[in-house]
Structure 1
Amino acid sequence: MAASSLDQLETTRHAWRKFKSRAMSGVLFAASALAITPLFLVLYFLIKEGASSVDWNLFTQLPKPTGESGGGMANAIVGSLTLLAMATAVGVPIGVLGGVYLAEYGSDRVNYWVRFAADVLNGIPSIVWGMVAYILLVVPFKSFSAYAGGVALGMMMIPLVMRTTEEMLLLVPQGYREAALALGIARWKVITRIVLRTALKGIVTGVLVALARIAGETAPLLFTALGNNFWNHNLAEPISAVPLQIFAYAISPYEDWHRQAWAGALVLLGMIFLLNLFVRLISRDRKFS
């Protein structure tokens, strides 16, 4: 009888544990569903409103004059690619070199404050970056320009690239460094030819993530690039970008521009999606061995 009672008690406890496990799994599933629901709503509305407006003209034509229907965002698409290239030229070298310093050279005390500053900068609203670039590059030269927009976006990339580079370098086994140094190889050669090459895929992943983050920024460009409706032939003059064009069209009173704003938003989302997909592909099966 005692053994039977113990077995019954253990069965009851087992059933209760299974119930709690299933209940918590259900709660976690519901929380996950709630978390991703806004994403699917955004995708649904973008596809619903913008898919029918995406055509060849959107990629090949310039915006029409105010009040006229038709046209496209060719200048804005090229402008966005130009600004991203300039931001990469500014943010990647500084960010990577900063990450190398943190991982290979800096002292604990200095590194602590540099990391703290980078983490704070990562959380600064993008409009603040735009205001800083406006004060440093627009006001002194008395002109909005592609240079100012590229620098503003590049400054936003620096802390993220720096922290990503540091983390990727720290993942490289210490034995690689010790073996190379034991052979008499200079430290800078060990870093550039062994450590950086080993961590290259992870660093590129961090750069692409930073590009995906800044690709949709509008506020910094309002203070720096300003935007225009024509091709940009001089980087010292205002330049258009897809986020700026979407903003201008979205606040306009014209229905056709609203339609193009939805189409531009869908194109921008597609660009960011492709960047993130590329990040997933190159970061898959990343190993240090």
Structure 2
Amino acid sequence: MSLLDREVPGVVMTPDNIRTKELPLAVNLGVAAGAVVLAAAVVLGAGIGNWVLVAFVGVVLYLVGINIVAGRIEGKRAARNRTMKSLIYAACILAVLPLASVVWTLVSKGYERLDANFFGTSMNNISARDPNGGAYHAIIGTLEQVGIAALLAVPLGVLGAIYLVEYGRGRFANTVRFFVDVMTGIPSIVAGLFILSFWVLIVSPWFNDGQPRYSGFAAALALTVLMLPTIVRSTEEMLRLVPGPLREGSYALGVPQWKTILKVVLPTALPGIVTGVMLAIARAAGETAPVLLVAGGAAAINYDPFAGNQQSLALFVYQQAGDASRYAPARAWTAALTLVALVLILTIAAKLLARRNKLSR
């Protein structure tokens, strides 16, 4: 008797098709439904939790049940594979749920003030009983502060990463890497205190008749301090991923190193660099403490980032969330939704520009 003619329990073997029995979809769905019902009966019946605990217990019961059922139909090996696959899917869903919850909360609570008044007015002369008032001044402040910070941090961060990867050798390069790693975890309020003590209290009096001056530019400097380590580290890692043969081929053709970096290395790593830059911008746009310390916040519109207090969306959300007015929470939620949408738009635009850039083709 040949191997193909043998009868193996649970296995159908033919010359053209060798496969094992598969768990029917109906059985899989039945195990899932039974796990949810049993979890609800235990948790809600005993009064030990809510639907969050029901979902967790249901997942555990489903994994146990699918392992037992699949083991009888598909075999132990296939059952372990199916169980691990289900565990991976469950972990993915659990990772996505918080993000989906945040998005749903922002949209459901932030749509109330999505009107022309919110995006076209400031909080100047708005009393606690006034339902109007918007975040136009905060949007202007965020765009100016983050824009200036990006103009300062992106060139410095990319050039610093190029030095560390292409030129940096020895103790000095290792020292720079160490301090960049340390700065990556620096609290935002420390950056704000540094700019407050250096720029606001020491430098700004030189240009203001001896008086310290709060400004949006000072907030941009604080955001630059926070953005720099993220840009340097992400750009460094992307540059290291560029294959060495690309550089060697360019050198073999007689291309100098600076032109190889500009024409070969940077275009190859550009998508990853853009991602790191957008992560840094997203972090800077959501910071509150530095803006509060060195820009002060303002209820009126201030287009000049170099003179006077200036508002930002993150600080606007913080202030409105703590306001006693019953109209303030709606403004805070809409401002938070606006901030997330603004970062999303900037990220999409940067990705599209990086994809269409001639150097990256």
The amino acid that maps onto 2:294 is: T
The range that moved more, 247-256 or 127-136, is: 127-136
Q: Is the 8 A contact 2:298 2:309 kept in 1?
A: yes
Provide the rounded CA distance (Å) in 1 between the counterparts of 2:91 and 2:275. 29
Distance (whole Å) between structure 2 residues aligned to residue 212 and residue 62 of structure 1 = 23
Deviates more, 1:38-47 or 1:166-175: 166-175
- For 1:270 and 1:154, locate their aligned partners in 2 and report how far apart those are by CA, in whole Å: 22
How far off is 1:188 after superposition? 2.6
Matches within 5 A, 1:244-255: 244-255=315-326
Q: Work out the CA distance in 1 between the residues paired with 2:354 and 2:87.
A: 31
- 2:266 corresponds, among 166, 173, 196, to 196
Q: CA deviation at 1:108?
A: 5.2
Q: Which residue is 1:131 aligned to?
A: 193
Deviation at 1:222, TM superposition (A): 1.3
Asked if the contact 1:172–1:288 (Cα under 8 Å) also holds between the matched residues in 2, the reply is no
Larger radius of gyration: 2
Superposed displacement of residue 198, structure 1: 4.0
Name which of structure 1's ranges 248-257 and 122-131 shifts more when overlaid on structure 2. 122-131
Structure 1 residues 192, 9: CA separation in 2 closer, same or farther (over 3 Å shift)? closer
Q: CA deviation at 1:66?
A: 3.1
Amino acid at match of 1:257: A
What residue identity is the alignment partner of 1:131?
Answer: L
Distance 1:199 1:9 in 2: 51
Aligned-residue offset at 1:179: 3.7
Q: Partners of 2:171 and 2:338 in 1: how far apart?
A: 45
Name the residue aligned to 2:127. 66
- Check if 1:104 corresponds to 2:104: no
The answer on 1:32 being equivalent to 2:92 is: yes
Partner residue in 1 for 2:81:
21
Alignment-mate amino acid for residue 334 of structure 2: A
Can you give the 5+ residue segments of structure 1 that lack an aligned partner in the other structure? Answer: none
1:241 alignment partner in structure 2: 312
Shift of 1:53: 1.4
Cα distance between partner residues in 2 of 1:40 and 1:34: 10
Change (3 A) 1:25 1:151: same
Aligned with 2:275 (options 202, 205, 210) = 205
Aligned to 1:256: 327
**Deviation at 1:55?**
0.5
Match for residue 53 of structure 1 among 108, 113, 116 = 113
Query: Greater CA deviation, 169-178 or 256-265?
Result: 169-178
* Cα distance between partner residues in 1 of 2:233 and 2:274: 13
Distance (whole Å) between structure 1 residues aligned to residue 92 and residue 350 of structure 2: 23
CA distance in structure 2 between the aligned counterparts of 1:22 and 1:9, rounded to whole angstroms: 17
Q: Is the 8 A contact 2:271 2:355 kept in 1?
A: no
What is residue 220 of structure 1 aligned with on the other side?
A: 290
Bigger mean CA offset, 91-100 vs 56-65: 56-65
Alignment partner of 2:214 out of 139, 144, 162? 144
Alignment of 1:273-288 (within 5 A): 273-278=344-349, 281=352
- Counterpart of 2:235 in structure 1: which amino acid? T
Q: Cα deviations across residues 88-126 of structure 1 (Å, max 9, x unaligned)?
A: 121112101101101110115544443332223222222
Match in the other structure for 1:270: 341
The TM-score with structure 2 as length reference comes to 0.70
Label 1:9 to 1:104 Cα distance change in 2 as closer, same or farther (>3 A): same
Aligned CA RMSD, in angstroms, stands at 3.0
- Provide the rounded CA distance (Å) in 2 between the counterparts of 1:199 and 1:19: 42
Matched, 1:164 2:234: yes
Separation in structure 2 between the aligned mates of residue 29 and residue 199 of structure 1, nearest angstrom:
31
**Structure ranking higher on relative contact order (CA contacts 8 Å, 6+ apart):** 1
TM normalised by structure 1 equals 0.86
Compared with structure 1, are the counterparts of its residues 85 and 167 closer, same or farther at alpha carbon in structure 2 (3 Å cutoff)? Answer: same
The one-letter amino acid paired with 1:167 is E
Q: 1:33 to 1:152 in 2, by over 3 A?
A: same
Aligned to 1:175: 245
CA deviation after TM superposition for structure 1 residue 268, in Å: 0.9
